[in-house]
């Protein structure tokens, strides 16, 4: 009898994950019962209008925020069960984050910014600077290793930020509007760089309003009013999930 092929365990699994906030206007549901999985090595674009729940989903995935209900599993770990201290350690090990506004340390050079996450984790001792220089070379800004962020263009800062996100060799790379603060030409170059990094080994999730960037991803998850409205695998030509907008608005 042939041995059954094992089913790969998804690196990301949301099970009815919900996030609610209490405001002066009452309770707001930013994300409502999100359920989906992402396979290791997938590239997924998270799209939707402002206020749709994109950043909330990303924050739950990064362990920056915590689900009010449901489960969030990443690389075999249920993030809802971790303390804040353990979440911080987990995040430094498993996730690299690229922000819209770069978030580089202004008093550190490019290479020092990339070295910093390795120092915080105690990794690559004796090899940190060499690794940081190699990562800067990989993203095309090796010549800026000794430059401060203020001496760089926006696109150059974003490349350094991407190198920093890769510093600890994370299993997952998250990018929150990585082209949102860049002009069109520079944004296009960052899109090309991210496409090169999406090589099937590292899992890449991108929150974006940029239709050009979203169109490059093989899979797109669309949100509206905190609900996953559509989950489309473009490369396979399949719709994995779809919900009518009116029904979603009534649920939230």
CA distance 48 to 55: 10
CA distance 22 to 37: 28
**What pLDDT, in 10s, does the model give residues 126-162?**
899 999 999 999 999 999 999 999 999 999 999 999 9
**Parallel, antiparallel, or unpaired for β 238-242 and 69-74?**
unpaired
Q: Residue 80 CB: number of other CB atoms within 10 A?
A: 18
How far from the centroid of its chain's Cα atoms is residue 23's Cα?
27
pTM for this prediction: 0.84
CA distance 74 to 157: 28
**What pLDDT, in 10s, does the model give residues 82-114?**
888 888 888 888 899 998 888 999 999 999 999
pLDDT at position 2, please?
Answer: 53
Span 66-81, mean pLDDT? Answer: 92
The H-assigned helical ranges of the chain are 54-62, 84-94, 110-121, 128-138, 154-165, 184-197, 211-216, 245-251
* pLDDT top residue among 226 and 6: 226
Contact 96, 174 (CB under 8 A): yes
Name the phi and psi angles at 120, rounded to 5.
-65, -30
pLDDT at position 182, please?
Answer: 87
On the CB side of 80, CA atoms within 13 Å amount to 14
What are the distances in angstroms from CA 104 to CA 39, 161, 182, 219? 30, 7, 16, 29
**What pLDDT, in 10s, does the model give residues 198-218?**
777 789 999 988 888 888 899
What are the distances in angstroms from CA 38 to CA 10, 41, 191, 205? 6, 8, 21, 9
Secondary element (H or E) of residue 32: strand 26-38
CATH class of the region 12-251: alpha beta
Tokens at 14, concatenated: 């949301």
Helix pair 110-121, 84-94: axis angle to 10 deg: 130
Domain boundaries in the chain?
12-251
The DSSP line for 165-209 is: HTTT--SEEEEESTTTTS-HHHHHHHHHHHHHH-SSSSEEEEE-S
Q: Residue 146 CB: number of other CB atoms within 10 A?
A: 10
Reference 234, options 219, 213, 222, 215; nearest CA is: 219
Residue with tokens 């498993």: 94
């Amino acid at each position: 009898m042939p041995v059954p092929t094992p089913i790969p365990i998804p690196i990301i699994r949301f099970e009815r994950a919900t996030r609610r906030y209490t405001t002066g206007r009452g309770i707001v549901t930013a994300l409502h019962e999100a359920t989906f999985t992402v396979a290791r090595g997938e590239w997924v674009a998270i799209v939707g209008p402002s206020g749709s729940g994109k950043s909330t989903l990303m924050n739950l995935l990064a362990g920056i925020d915590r689900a009010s209900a449901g489960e969030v599993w990443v690389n075999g770990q249920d993030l809802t069960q971790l303390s804040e201290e353990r979440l911080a350690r987990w995040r430094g090990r498993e996730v690299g984050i690229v922000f819209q506004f770069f978030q580089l340390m202004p008093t550190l050079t490019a290479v020092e910014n990339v070295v910093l996450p390795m120092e915080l984790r105690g990794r690559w001792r004796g090899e940190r600077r060499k690794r940081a220089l190699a990562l800067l070379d990989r993203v095309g800004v090796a010549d800026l290793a000794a430059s401060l962020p203020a001496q760089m263009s926006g696109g150059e800062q974003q490349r350094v930020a991407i190198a920093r996100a890769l510093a600890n060799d994370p299993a997952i790379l998250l990018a929150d509007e990585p082209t949102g603060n860049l002009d069109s030409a520079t944004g296009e170059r960052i899109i090309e760089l991210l496409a090169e990094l999406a090589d099937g080994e590292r899992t890449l999730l991108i929150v974006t309003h940029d239709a050009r960037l979203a169109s490059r991803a093989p899979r797109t998850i669309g949100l509206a009013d905190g609900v996953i409205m559509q989950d489309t695998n473009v490369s396979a030509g399949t719709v994995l999930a779809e919900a009518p907008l009116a029904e979603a608005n009534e649920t939230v």
